[in-house]
């Protein structure tokens, strides 16, 4: 059986035109140390002009029954 975890990450505005995200690497490393594998990401909030503002990082791992 697979177990999935979802972690919401929000882009931070750097200036009027650009946003950035920096904590994703720390989150991925933390979950990897707990035995999870990074699966991918799903945008959860998109601006009117199509820019991703928030996303869920998806992690999975096999669990023994």
Please list the helix, strand and coil fractions of the chain in percent, rounded to the nearest 5, in that order.
Answer: 15, 50, 30
For the segment 6-21, the average pLDDT, to the nearest whole number, is: 73
Q: What pTM was estimated for this model as a whole?
A: 0.79
Query: Cα(55)–Cα(8) distance, rounded to whole angstroms?
Result: 6
Burial class (CB in 10 A: 0-12, 13-18, 19+), 56: middle
Q: What is the pLDDT of residues 35-64, one digit of tens each?
A: 999 999 999 999 888 888 899 999 999 987
Tell me how far CA of residue 25 lies from CA of 9, 17, 19, 38, in angstroms.
Answer: 11, 23, 16, 11
**What's the mean pLDDT in 21-32?**
88
């Amino acid at each position: 059986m697979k177990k999935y975890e979802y972690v919401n990450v929000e882009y931070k505005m750097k200036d009027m035109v650009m946003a950035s995200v920096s904590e994703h690497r720390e989150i991925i490393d933390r979950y990897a140390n707990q035995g999870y594998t990074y699966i991918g990401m799903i945008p959860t909030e998109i601006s009117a002009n199509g820019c991703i503002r928030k996303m869920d990082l998806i992690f999975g791992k096999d669990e023994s029954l």
